[in-house]
Amino acid sequence: MKKITILINDKIRNKKIRIVGETNPTGEIDKYDALEIAKDYSLDLVLLSTTKEGVGICKVIDYQKYLYDKKKQNKDLLKKQKANQVQIKEIRMTPNTDDHDYNFKLKHAINFLKDNNKVKVTIFFKGREIMFRDKGEFMILRFVKDLEEYGTAETMPKLEGKRMSLFVKPKK
């Protein structure tokens, strides 16, 4: 996580300051007058932004509380960003995968699609199994057909070296 650097009190370089807030004056005032106002309230003068004219927009608040709220806000944004991110889960099989194993992998694929993740179905050809490409393609297409109500295939199966793969995206 990035460290938050915020200018406060004497570290503010702007000569003119505009204080925003409920009980504070809203016009442009001198930096030192703004610091006196902050001292009167026993709070800090925190620089929020700077205008094109060089006037600093500041707020008189408790700096530690401000940092806490800023970190909390960044955490919430990060959580939302991760929640919206789609992951790719991979299901691996061979052309000779048994029915029980097939159904087990199918259940996992259904759960992945329900969790709004993409599923990459991969058939590995070991040794001379590459001769049975049609059997592998049939297995992938059967897998996609069994997942029809949960997701749709993005493309047709592709053969890349000794593996055949296909992506299935979840239905909305």
Q: What is the mean pLDDT of the chain?
A: 83
Q: How confident is the model at residue 22, as a pLDDT?
A: 66
pLDDT digits (tens, 9 = 90+) for 48-94: 777 777 788 888 888 888 888 888 988 888 887 776 677 888 999 98
Question: Is residue 23's pLDDT more than 70?
Answer: no
Query: What CATH code is assigned to 9-69?
Result: 3.10.20.80
Q: How confident is the model at residue 24, as a pLDDT?
A: 56
- The C-alpha atoms of residue 18 and residue 82 are separated, in whole angstroms, by 37
For residues 121 and 102, the answer to whether their CB atoms sit within 8 Å is: no
Query: Where in the chain is CATH 3.30.110.10?
Result: 88-170
Query: Where in the chain is CATH 3.10.20.80?
Result: 9-69
Structure-model confidence comparison of residues 45 and 13, the more confident one: 45
Q: Is the pTM of this model over 0.75?
A: no
Percent of the chain with pLDDT over 70: 92
Beta-strand relationship, 16-20 and 28-30: antiparallel
Residue 104: pLDDT band with limits 50, 70, 90: very high
Domain 88-170 is found in CATH 2.60.40.10? no
Instruction: Please classify residue 59 by burial: count the beta carbons closer than 10 Å to its beta carbon, then call 0-12 exposed, 13-18 middle and 19+ buried.
Output: middle
Q: How confident is the model at residue 2, as a pLDDT?
A: 58
Q: How far is CA 124 from CA 8, 52, 114, 144, 165, in A?
A: 60, 61, 25, 17, 9
Q: Which residues contact 128 (CB under 8 A, 6 or more apart)?
A: none
pLDDT digits (tens, 9 = 90+) for 134-170: 888 889 989 999 998 898 888 888 888 888 999 999 8
pLDDT digits (tens, 9 = 90+) for 107-123: 999 999 888 889 999 99
Question: Is residue 21's pLDDT more than 90?
Answer: no
